[in-house]
Structure 1
Amino acid sequence: MSPPRVRRAARWRRFNWAGTLGALIWLVIVVVPLYSMVSSTLQTRPEYLDNGPLALPTDPGLGSYRQVLEGDFPRYLLNTAIVTVSCAAIVIALAVTVSYVVVRNRSPWSRRTFQLFLLGLAIPSQAVIIPVYWIITELQLYDTLLAVILPTAAFSLPVSVLILVGTMRDIDEEMYESMALDGAGPARMLVQLVVPVARAGISTAGVFAALNAWNGFLFPLILTQSRESRVLTLGLYDFVGEFRVDIPALLAAVVLSIVPIFTAYLFARRQLINGLMGVGGR
C-alpha cells in the first residue's frame, strides 16, 4: 500500500468506536427530552393528548406561551429575580469578607470559623426546616420574599466560602507584602488586590448562589403562602388542576423559566470553571 493509504488505515484502526458510540447514546439521551419539551409547547392540549410528546406539531403555535405570559408568570419571574439577585449579593458580600479573614488571619479563631462553615456542608436544609420555620415566624417574616432570601443565602455560604478560600490562597504572599510596604491596610488590600485577583472565584460563588436561589423549592414551599410571594418553582402548580394537567402550558412555563438562568450561565461559564479549578488551593 502507498504511504497515504497506510496512514488512513492506521487512523481508522485508532478510531475510538466505543467512545463514539457512547457519545451518540448520550446525545440521544439529552436531545430527545429537550425535543419533547419544546415540541409539546408548540401543541395545544388536545393535540398533545392525541399525538403524544414525541410527535411533530401538526399546527405549531405559541398559544401555550401566550397563556403563560397572560397569567401570573411575570409576577413569579419578578419575585424569583429579586430572590436570586438578593441571595447572590448577600453571599458574595459575606463570603468574600469571611474568606479573606480565614486566609489572612492565622489565629485559631479564624480556623474554627472556617471549620464551622465546612460543617455546614454536611447539614441538609431538610434537616433544619422546622427551626428555620420557627425563626422566620418569630421574626414575623413569614410569607415574604425575605423569608426565602435569608435561609437560601445561608445554605449557599459554606460552598461559597470553600471556593473563595481556595481561590484566595493562590494569591502570592509577595503581593500582600508589596501593598503593605505602600501603606495599604487590610481593607485596601481586600478591595484593590483580593477582589480583582479572585474575581473568577467570586463569579463562581455568585453563580452557585444564583442557581440555588433560582431553583429553590423547599423554602418557598414552607415559608410562603400567598400568590404575591410565589416564585417560579411554585408557580408551576398553576397548571396542575384537580382533574387535569395542562402539559403544554406547564412545559412552556418550564422553558420560559430556564431561559434567564441559562443565559446567565452562558456568560459566566468561563469564570465558573476557572473558579472551581481553584477550590483546592495550594
Structure 2
Amino acid sequence: MTTETSTSHPVGHGSHGQGPDAPHPAKARANKKRNRPAWLTGSLVAVWTIVVAFPLYFLVTTSLRQQGGYIVDGPLALPWPITFQNYFDVLNSQFMRYFVNNIIVTVGAVSLSVVFALFASYAIVRSRSKLLRRFFYFMLLGLAIPAQAVIIPLYLIINELHLYDTLWAIILPAAAFGLPLAILVLVGSLRDIPGELYESMELDGATPWVAFRQLVIPLSRPAISTVTIYLALGAWNGFLFPLVLTQSEDVRVLTLGLWDFQTQFGVNIPGLTAAVTLSLIPLVVLYLFGRKQLLSGLTAGFSK
C-alpha cells in the first residue's frame, strides 16, 4: 500500500515570488527615497541659521567691548577684555524713560488694533450684509498703502487734533495701520469656527455678545496671539511716526533714543549695541511665551 505524501510549498505573491511580508517594490522605493537625507534642505537651514545668528553674535560681542578695542581690533574680534560698562552707561542714561515710552506706545497701539479688529471681524463673518463685506475689502486696501505715502496728511490731522508731540500721536497711527493685517488674520480664523457651534449657543438662549465672549474669543486665541506679536514688532520698532509726530525728549521712544549714542566724535558702537541688545529683550520674551500660538495662528483660515 502506497501512501502519497503531498508537500505544501509557500505560494509567492507577485511575479517575482516575493513572500507575503515582502514590501511592494514601489513602496520600498518610496520608503528609501523618504529616508534619504535631505542635503539641500539641511544646507539651506544651516545658511539661514548663520544669517540670523551673525547679527546677534555681533550685537552681544560688541556690547561687551570697549570703544578703543572696537576701533583697534575691528568689529569681528572676540570681546577681550570683557566689560559690562556699556550696559551700566545705558541704564544710567535716559534709556529707561525711552523704554517706558516704548512700552506705552506698543501696548496702546496693539490693544486698540486687536480690540477693534476682533469686533470688526466678528461682524464681517456673522453678518450677511453686503456693506460689511465691502468694508472688509476696503480695509484690505490698507495693506497696499505705505505710511510714507500719507505722512503729510497724517501730520496735519495730528496737528488739528492737538496731539502733536504726545504719545497719542504715535499710538493712533500705529493702531490704524495695524488694523488691516489684524482684520485679515482674524476673519480667516473666525471663518474656521463651525456654524453649528453658533446655532447651538443660540438654541441655549445665548445672545451674540455671550457667543462672542464664550465662543469666539477662546477659539481665536492662536490668531489673536499671532496678530499681537506681529503688531507688537511693528509698534516697538516704529521709527517714522515718532520721528515726524514727536519732538520733545519726554515722549521720545527707543528708536529715537539711540541717537543719544552719537557724539561729535562719532558713534559709540559698543554703547549703541548694548542699548539695542536691551531693547530686544521684551521681543524675545514675547516670542518665547507666544511661539506656539504664533505657529498655530499662522495656519488659521487656510482650512477652507
Structure 2 unaligned runs (5+)? 1-31
Aligned length: 272
> For 1:270 and 1:116, how far apart are their aligned partners in 2?
31
The change in CA–CA distance for 1:101 and 1:107 in structure 2 (over 3 A counts) is: same
Which letter maps to 1:213? Answer: A
The change in CA–CA distance for 1:182 and 1:24 in structure 2 (over 3 A counts) is: closer
The change in CA–CA distance for 1:219 and 1:14 in structure 2 (over 3 A counts) is: same
For the 8 Å contact 1:165–1:281, the answer to whether it is kept is no
The change in CA–CA distance for 1:74 and 1:162 in structure 2 (over 3 A counts) is: same
Over the residues paired in the alignment, what is the CA RMSD in angstroms?
A: 1.6
Partner of 2:267: 245
After superposition, the C-alpha distances for 1:230-249 in whole angstroms (9 at most, x for unaligned) are 10111111111233100000
The change in CA–CA distance for 1:22 and 1:99 in structure 2 (over 3 A counts) is: closer
For the 8 Å contact 2:192–2:301, the answer to whether it is kept is no
Partner of 1:95: 117
Identity of aligned residues (%): 50
> For 1:32 and 1:211, how far apart are their aligned partners in 2?
20
> For 1:23 and 1:275, how far apart are their aligned partners in 2?
23
The yes-or-no answer on 1:205 pairing with 2:227 is yes
> For 2:139 and 2:128, how far apart are their aligned partners in 1?
16
User: How far is the alpha carbon of 1:211 from its aligned partner?
Assistant: 1.3
The partner residue of 1:34 within 53, 56, 70 is 56
* Secondary structure, aligned partner of 1:204: helix
The change in CA–CA distance for 1:14 and 1:185 in structure 2 (over 3 A counts) is: closer
More helix by share: 1
User: How far is the alpha carbon of 1:198 from its aligned partner?
Assistant: 1.0
Q: Which of the two has higher C-alpha Rg?
A: 2
For the 8 Å contact 1:80–1:231, the answer to whether it is kept is yes
> For 2:130 and 2:262, how far apart are their aligned partners in 1?
53
* Secondary structure, aligned partner of 1:57: coil
User: How far is the alpha carbon of 1:184 from its aligned partner?
Assistant: 1.3
The partner residue of 1:186 within 196, 208, 217 is 208
The partner residue of 2:159 within 125, 132, 137 is 137
After superposition, the C-alpha distances for 1:138-170 in whole angstroms (9 at most, x for unaligned) are 000001000000000000000000000000000
Partner of 2:282: 260
Q: TM-score, normalised by structure 2?
A: 0.86
For the 8 Å contact 1:39–1:53, the answer to whether it is kept is no
User: Which ranges of 4 or more aligned residues in structure 1 deviate by more than 4 Å?
Assistant: none
User: How far is the alpha carbon of 1:281 from its aligned partner?
Assistant: 5.6
Partner of 1:171: 193
For the 8 Å contact 1:90–1:153, the answer to whether it is kept is yes
